[in-house]
């Protein structure tokens, strides 16, 4: 087996593990709530997160979708918990670059998220992978707008 097919197998296992044993599945009370859906298939995700002093204290998700979208949401919540907002948004930008097949900043350790790299070769699945990250970006914008009003 070549190095690349070994890596593909490993990545597939990481994706299936997140799909079957999702991290941070559920709903947080008294939190920012974001509902997003993938218009191409109708699959949906609800992201709830708590932001304190510019830091993501906690994040959970629930929803219905394909293995890529659910695994990506699991990985995303795992990655952003405990991070400051700036770092979380930076990760979102890096992930977006990765999905578009662009060079991406590798100075931040993406952990399990690396396993989704191969999705960039399947344009129809990119929306699946980015659904939860779009929810994150919308949630941060909501939080910032709420801050302006107070
Ligand atoms: Fe619907 Fe992937 S097919 S989110």
- Which domains are seen in the chain, by residue range? 3-149 (3.90.1010.10)
Distance 49 CA to ligand 1 centre (A): 22
pLDDT per residue as tens digits for the range 59-85? 999 999 999 999 999 999 999 999 999
Global confidence as pTM: 0.93
What distance in Å separates the CA atoms of residue 31 and residue 33, rounded to the nearest whole number?
A: 6
Would the pLDDT of 43 be above 90? yes
Contacts of 97 (CB under 8 A, 6+ apart): 103, 104, 105
Report pLDDT for 7: 82
Cβ neighbours around 28 below 10 Å, total: 17
What distance in Å separates the CA atoms of residue 47 and residue 17, rounded to the nearest whole number?
A: 20
Residue of the CA atom closest to atom 3 of ligand 1: 66
Atom of ligand 1 nearest to the CA of 131: 4
| Mean predicted confidence (pLDDT) in 34-46 | 96
Report pLDDT for 149: 45
Distance 52 CA to ligand 1 centre (A): 31
**Ligand 1 neighbours by CB, cut-off 6 Å:** 38, 41, 43, 65-66, 68-69, 128, 131
| Mean predicted confidence (pLDDT) in 4-18 | 91
């Amino acid at each position: 087996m070549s190095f690349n097919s070994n890596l593909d197998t490993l990545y597939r296992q990481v994706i299936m593990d997140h799909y079957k044993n999702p991290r941070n599945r559920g709903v947080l009370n008294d939190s920012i709530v974001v509902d997003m859906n993938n218009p191409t298939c109708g699959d949906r995700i609800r992201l709830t997160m708590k932001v304190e002093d510019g830091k993501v204290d906690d994040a959970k998700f629930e929803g219905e979708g394909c293995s890529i979208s659910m695994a990506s949401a699991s990985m995303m919540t795992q990655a952003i918990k405990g991070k400051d907002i700036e770092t979380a948004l930076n990760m979102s930008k890096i992930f977006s670059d990765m999905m578009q097949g662009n060079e991406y900043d590798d100075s931040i350790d993406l952990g399990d998220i690396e396993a989704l790299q191969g999705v960039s070769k399947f344009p129809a699945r990119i929306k699946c992978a980015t659904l939860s990250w779009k929810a994150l970006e919308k949630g941060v914008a909501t939080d910032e707008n709420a801050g302006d009003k107070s």
